[in-house]
Structure 1
Amino acid sequence: MSEINNIIQPEKAVRFELQYLPCLEYFACILSNDLIWIDIEEKYVKQTYRNRCSVLTTNKVDTLTVPVQGYDQNTPTKDIKIDHSQHWIRRHWGCFKSAYGKSPYYEFYADELQAVYLKKPEFLVDLNYELLTICLRLLGIRKDIRYNLSVPLEEHKGVIDAISLINDKKNRNLNKYYQPIAYYQTFGNDFVSNLSIVDLLFNMGPEARSILLRSCKQQ
Structure 2
Amino acid sequence: MKSVAADLFYLPNLEFFASVLDSDQILLNPNDYYQRKSFFNRTQILLSNKVETLSIPVIGRRPRIPLRKIQIDYKQKWLQNHLRGLQSAYGKAPFFEYFFPEIEAIYEKEIPTLWDLNLELMTICLKFLQLPVKLEVVESWDGIRPEIDLRGMISPSIPFAERGIYTPFAYTQLFGLDFEPNLSVLDLLFCEGPSAKNILTKSIKKD
What is the TM-score when the length of structure 1 is the normalising length?
Answer: 0.89
Match for residue 135 of structure 1?
125
2:91 aligned with 1:101: yes
2:193 aligned with 1:202: no
Match for residue 157 of structure 1?
145
Deviation at 1:145, TM superposition (A): 2.4
Matches within 5 A, 1:15-54: 15-54=5-44
3-state DSSP of counterpart to 2:6? strand
2:138 aligned with 1:148: yes
Match of 1:167 among 155, 161, 182: 155
Match for residue 177 of structure 1?
165
Structure 1 runs of 4+ with >4 Å offset? none
2:59 aligned with 1:59: no
3-state DSSP of counterpart to 1:145? strand
Q: Which moved more, 1:115-124 or 1:163-172?
A: 163-172
Structure number with greater Rg is 1
Contact persistence 1:78–1:123 (CA under 8 A) = yes
Match for residue 113 of structure 1?
103
3-state DSSP of counterpart to 2:135? strand
3-state DSSP of counterpart to 2:72? coil
Deviation at 1:39, TM superposition (A): 2.0
Whichever residue aligns with residue 41 of structure 1, its letter is N
Deviation at 1:71, TM superposition (A): 4.2
Provide the alpha-carbon RMSD of the alignment. 1.5
Contact persistence 1:71–1:80 (CA under 8 A) = no
* Structure 1: segments with no counterpart, 5+ residues: 1-10
Q: Deviations over 1:157-201 (max 9, x none)?
A: 354332121122112322332111000000000001110001001
Whole-angstrom CA distance in 1 between matches of 2:53 and 2:59:
19
3-state DSSP of counterpart to 1:17? coil
Whole-angstrom CA distance in 2 between matches of 1:90 and 1:158:
38
Q: Deviations over 1:82-118 (max 9, x none)?
A: 0000011110011111111111111111111001111
Whole-angstrom CA distance in 2 between matches of 1:159 and 1:50:
23
Whole-angstrom CA distance in 1 between matches of 2:82 and 2:91:
13
Whole-angstrom CA distance in 2 between matches of 1:157 and 1:199:
33
Match for residue 6 of structure 1?
none
What is the TM-score when the length of structure 2 is the normalising length?
Answer: 0.94
Percent of aligned pairs with the same residue? 39
